[in-house]
Amino acid sequence: MLDRLQAMGWLTHVPNPAPHPKGPQWEALKQADRHPLTRAADWIMVFDVDEYVNIHVGGRRLPDLLAALPEATALPLTWRFFGNDGVVDYEDRPVTEIFTRAAPAVLHWPWRAAMFKTLFRNDGTYGKLGVHRPRNPDAARLPHARWFDGSGRPLAGSFLTDRLYSDFGRDNYALAQLNHYALGSMESYVVKCDRGRANRAAPAFDSGYWTDRNFSSDADRSILGLDSHALRAALRGDAVLGRLHQAAVAWRRQRFAALMAEEPWRALFGRLMMAGPSRVLSAAEAEGIRRHAPRPS
C-alpha cells in the first residue's frame, strides 16, 4: 500500500526490512536521520499511524498553528488518549469516526498520558531525530530555541534538552493536540499484541498497557471537522490501492480468527471483554502515587 501511495505521489516510502536488533523504530529513525528529505525539511515531526494532529486554530492546518505561535521553534503536541469505549469488533472504518471518547483535557495520571511528539523547526539546533523529541542539542544554539506547549505557553529548562512529557494537571490542548488511538477495538488490540512493540526494549503489550490508555470519560469529536471522506473515497477508487486495502482488511480478520485458536490470546481477549474503562484519578490520588516514585525523565 505504501509503495502504491508513493507511485501516486502522496508520500515517500523508505523500506525498513528486518532484522532490527534494537527494534524497527530505531532503525527507521537512523534511516530518516540521513535521508535527503530530512535535511531539506523546514519543519519535522516524528509520529505514528495511530496518532493524528488535531489543530484548533484558524483553518486547522499546520500553517495556522505556526502562525498562532510565530516565535516558536518547537511545539510538543501532547497525547490525548482515545479509549476503546466498549468496541469489540474490528470495523473497516477510520478510528477517528469509531472512537470519539477520550481522556479529560486535564489529567493527573498516568504520566504516559502526558507524553508528547514534537513538531520542530529544522534549524540545526538538534542533531538527531527521536521518537518523542529531537535529540543531540547544540549548546550554542539552545539559547535561541523557543518551545511552546499545545496551549501556547512558553516552556524552558528540561523541555529544551531531554523531557518527554508535558506538565500534569492542566489543559495542554487549547491550540492543538495529538489524538492517540493506541487501542482500537478489542479484536484489533489482540492483533496488535501479536505483532509486538516497535521498540524492542519496551515490555510486551498486555492488559496493563490497555489500562494505562483506556480513557473514555469525555466526548471529543473535534477531529471530525477535518472531513476526509472525499479523499478516502478517491484513494479507494484506485484499482491497485483499493485491492490492497481489501486484502489488508481480510488479513486482519483472518489473523484474529487464527489467534483465537490459541489459549493465551483467548485469555487476553476475555480479560479485555471483562475490563471497564480506566478510572480518572483525582489530583490527590495522583499525587499519592507520585510521592512514592520520582517522575520519569
Whether residue 80 lies inside any domain: the answer is: yes
Q: What is the pLDDT of residue 291?
A: 81
Among 108-112, 117-121, 213-217, 238-242, which stretch is predicted with the lowest mean pLDDT? Answer: 108-112
Q: Please check whether residue 146 lies inside any domain of the structure.
A: yes
pLDDT score, position 229: 94
Of residues 293 and 104, more confidently modeled: 104
Tell me, yes or no, whether 40 lies in a domain.
Answer: yes
Q: Is residue 297 part of a domain?
A: no
Q: Is residue 295 a part of any domain in this protein?
A: no
pLDDT, tens digit, 9 for 90 and up, residues 241-262: 999 999 999 999 999 999 999 9
Report pLDDT digits (tens) over 168-214: 899 999 999 999 999 999 999 999 999 876 655 555 667 788 999 99
Task: Look up residue 236 and give its three cell numbers.
Answer: 479507494
pTM over 0.85: yes
Q: Is 190 contained in some domain?
A: yes
75 three-class SS: strand
Tell me what pLDDT residue 60 has. Answer: 97
Say how far apart CA 108 and CA 281 lie, in whole Å.
Answer: 7
296 is a domain residue: no
Q: Are 136 and 236 in contact (CB under 8 A)?
A: no
pLDDT of residue 264: 92
Q: How many domains does the chain have?
A: 1
- Per-residue pLDDT tens over the stretch 16-68: 998 888 888 999 999 999 999 999 999 999 999 999 999 999 999 999 999 99
Model pLDDT for residues 122-148, shown as the tens digit of each residue: 999 999 999 999 999 999 999 999 999
Which pLDDT does position 44 carry in this prediction? 98
Q: Which runs of consecutive H residues, i.e. helices, occur in the chain?
A: 2-7, 24-33, 36-40, 62-68, 95-98, 186-195, 207-213, 229-236, 239-259, 263-274, 283-290
Q: Give the pLDDT score at 207.
A: 77
Mean pLDDT of the chain: 94
Half-sphere exposure of 84 (CA within 13 A, CB side): 27
- Examine residue 139 and state whether it is found in any structural domain, yes or no: yes
pLDDT at 23: 83
Domain hosting residue 111, numbered range: 2-290
Query: Which band of pLDDT confidence, cut at 50, 70 and 90, is reported for residue 155?
Result: very high
In order, the DSSP letters of 229-289 are: HHHHHHHHTSHHHHHHHHHHHHHHHHHHHHHTTSHHHHHHHHHHHH--PPPPPPHHHHHHH
